[in-house]
Chains A and B, each alone.
Chain A
């Protein structure tokens, strides 16, 4: 019983994510495309929840569905003054379709023939506090990548400021 409910929930979430991605690519109005993307991000958040990754699901909803999509809507609002500008042309490119089909074929072949290792599930799903220990302490082991990502953000921020500010004193 529990297994089939899980599978059903997974199928709903997965199809919603894929459907949202297709909707984003095929809607001519980029405003709609942005909302389809929001839909996809929420569905992916649901998938994380199914994996008992509550923290990741929360971050997915807060950062991607919350902040990133609002940011995108703001960009659309600030850059496109007229309603007609938001409508884009959709070109169908046969070569891109062929490339995508070949890629899909290769990935399908690879995944259907792969043997994934058996991983023993943890007795208890790790919670947010466990994640904090892993990320923020030396014993956790992942402090270094976390600190490097701080530097990445700093560099990206300086670059953004450099490009957006006007002429300055030398």
Chain B
């Protein structure tokens, strides 16, 4: 796959989105729309995987790379799993075809982001990836809390986008170019303003990845949103955001002081995320704080890579961890969407649906970082990079907060396996209806969690680790 074939996945996904907007005309409506879109995503995966690394198109606006190909495959497959689940569960009280269309628009933006190596394309693709997310977060139109959360997300996200744009204008003014490669060459000689511009630019991405201290929107908007939306918004656009942050940090790595900024954000995210998650009773809120914490772990890899002067290992470890984190959190939010939003809703899951409870255990264990699952290898690579870069204090915070995280993840486990039945709240809806496609989606997520863990070295090799 060379030349303009590189954007074939984006074209396929955009077509899917346009078809989904006319889902009314398809037989079977919501279900057909979601299944067709899932099939298109799987088809696009094959095209994305065949991309030749290191090729530039549109005059250097988009450049393919090995990590980008892996990330694109992860984005498309996660979206396919989400759509497969959505095809049978849908949204309570709303039709779901518009959600499918919006998710695909967001995926188009995310796919473009993975290849972009230029500021203007990056900014507009970032907007394409996040604007549909606002709608998904407020998808239930009569739910006042959902709309409030979506509005909070929109306002804070827009504010940080504008701060980012302010930073981008300085980057262009200082270097006279918008291409990452040329910025990397010109920026180190620009002094303090270069650092200020870089920090302003990263603020936008920190906010979209919900890294402290720009994470305030996440808990409130997740807690108001339908869990199915949270499953998508908190994982798929984030994957692309991580890769863009990596590309930007690669362009900024020559500026003195940038690793301190990254290390500070990492430490703040890990501490604030994990400590705030401890007292939460709403699973969506808990997972929001856990997302903040995991972004903190990711930033260890970036800080480490910058500290050693641009170590490839750190960037690849960050990419790997983003994938290893997003699979379990998507799956957990899907189960939350089925079972109910509070931790207490999980009570007795082990007797009601034993295999789902065991799968949940595997995903939670992967998030904590226990071998042989994906999360363990992710954290191993990240902490290794941190130690090699001499950031032992940061790695120490990472290890201690990982242990703290076990405390709140195990509250979910306790509810599923050990809690007496009296603790369960009244369940007006009764049993969760059996559904083969929803179960299949969960099984795929479980297999992926194990496979990425067991095959961690294969994934790292695909990313370009030598």
List chain A positions with a Cβ less than 8 A from chain B. 106-107, 109-111, 113-117, 119, 141-145, 148-149, 151-152, 154-156, 158-159, 162-163, 168, 170
Tier of interface size on chain B: 35 or more
A151–B121 touching, CB < 8 Å: no
When distances are taken between beta carbons in the complex, the residues of chain A under 8 Å from B186 are 117
Name 21 A/B residue pairs within 8 A (Cβ), A-sorted. Answer: A106-B196, A114-B191, A114-B194, A116-B174, A117-B174, A144-B58, A145-B124, A148-B112, A151-B105, A151-B128, A152-B128, A155-B106, A155-B135, A156-B131, A158-B98, A158-B101, A159-B131, A159-B134, A162-B141, A163-B135, A170-B30
Q: Is B457 an interface residue (CB 8 A)?
A: no
Q: Which residues of B contact A170 (CB under 8 A)?
A: 29-30, 95
Q: Which of B121-146 contact A (CB under 8 A)?
A: 121, 124-125, 127-128, 131-132, 134-135, 138-139, 141
Known A-B contacts A148-B125, A156-B131; the reply to A111 vs B193 at CB < 8 A is yes
Distance in Å from the Cβ of B354 to the closest Cβ of chain A? 33
Closest chain B residue to A141, Cβ basis: B59
Say yes or no for B38: interface residue by CB 8 A criterion.
no
The distance in angstroms between the C-alpha atoms of A104 and B256, with both chains bound, is 22
Contact of A110 among B106, B108, B196 (CB under 8 A): B196
Report the 10 A-B pairs with minimum CB-CB distance, sorted nearest first. A159-B135, A114-B193, A110-B193, A155-B105, A110-B196, A141-B59, A144-B58, A148-B124, A110-B192, A170-B95
- Neighbouring A residues of B102 by C-beta, 8 Å: 155, 158-159
Query: 4 more A-B contacts (CB under 8 A) besides A149-B124, A170-B30?
Result: A115-B189, A119-B176, A151-B109, A156-B131
Report yes or no: A114 in contact with B128, Cβ–Cβ below 8 A.
Answer: no
Residues of B within 8 A of A145 (CB): 61, 120-121, 124
Contact A162 B135 (CB under 8 A): yes
Question: Please, which residue of chain A has its CB at the minimum distance from the CB of B142?
Answer: A167
Please state if B196 and A152 are interface contacts (CB–CB under 8 Å): no
Q: Which residue of A lies closest to B101 (CB)?
A: A158
How far apart are B179's CB and chain A's nearest CB, in angstroms? 11
Query: Which residues from chain B contact A142 at a C-beta distance below 8 Å?
Result: 120
A168 CB contact (under 8 Å) in B95, B138, B195: B95
A144 to B11, CA, bound (A): 12
Q: Which residues of A contact B192 (CB under 8 A)?
A: 109-110, 113-114
CB within 8 Å: A-B pair count? 88
Closest to B127 in A: A152
Chain B residues with CB below 8 A from A117, complex form: 174-176, 186
**Contact of B191 with A115 in the complex, beta carbons under 8 Å:** yes
Q: CA of A170 to CA of B135 in the docked complex: distance in angstroms?
A: 19
Q: Which residues of chain A come closer than 8 Å to B196, judged between CB atoms?
A: 106-107, 110
Complex: how many Å from CA A162 to CA B120? 29
User: In the complex, what distance in Å separates the CA atom of A143 from the CA atom of B141?
Assistant: 36
Please name all residues of chain B whose beta carbon is closer than 8 Å to the beta carbon of A162 when the two chains form the complex.
Answer: 98, 135, 139, 141
Does A152 lie within 8 Å of B124, measured CB to CB?
yes
Give the residues in chain B near A106, CB-CB below 8 Å: 196
Q: Which B residues form the contact surface with A (CB < 8 A)?
A: 14, 21, 29-30, 58-59, 61-62, 95, 98, 101-102, 105-106, 108-109, 112, 120-121, 124-125, 127-128, 131-132, 134-135, 138-139, 141, 147, 173-176, 186, 189-196
B61 cross-chain contacts in A, Cβ below 8 A:
141, 144-145
Chain A binding surface SS class: helix
Cα A159 to Cα B175 with chains together (Å): 37
Assembled-state Cα–Cα distance A109/B196 (Å): 10
Docked complex Cα distance between A116 and B193 (Å):
10
A5 → B minimal CB distance (Å)? 25
CA distance A106 to B192 in the complex (A): 9
Question: A147 to chain B: closest CB distance in Å?
Answer: 9
Q: How close is B286's CB to chain A, nearest CB, in angstroms?
A: 28
Q: Given A110-B196, A117-B186, A144-B121 in contact, is the A155-B58 Cβ separation under 8 Å? A: no
In the assembled complex, the Cα of A107 lies from the Cα of B163 at a distance in Å of 13
Q: How far is the CA of A75 from the CA of B298 in the complex (A)?
A: 43
Question: For the complex, what is the distance from the CA of A119 to the CA of B177, rounded to whole Å?
Answer: 11
How many angstroms between the C-alpha atoms of A71 and B88 in the bound complex? 41
Tell whether A115 pairs with B124 under 8 Å between CB atoms, given A143-B58, A159-B132, A163-B135: no
A115 to B173, CA, bound (A): 10
Known: A149-B124, A155-B132, A156-B131. A115 touches B190 (CB 8 A): yes
CB distance from A155 to the nearest CB of B (A): 4
For A168, list chain B residues within 8 Å (CB): 95
Shortest CB-to-CB span from B94 to chain A, Å, is: 8
Complex CA–CA separation, A98 to B106 (angstroms):
37
Q: CA of A155 to CA of B131 in the docked complex: distance in angstroms?
A: 7
Residues of B within 8 A of A111 (CB): 193
A158 touches B21 (CB 8 A): yes
Contact A114 B174 (CB under 8 A): yes
**Of listed A109, A114, A148, residue having the most chain B CB within 10 A:** A148
Min C-beta distance of B105 to chain A, whole Å: 4
Complex Cα gap A168–B23 (Å): 14
C-alpha gap A170/B95 in the complex (Å): 6
Q: How far is the CA of A130 from the CA of B192 in the complex (A)?
A: 35
Which residues in A have their C-beta under 8 angstroms from that of B120? 142, 145
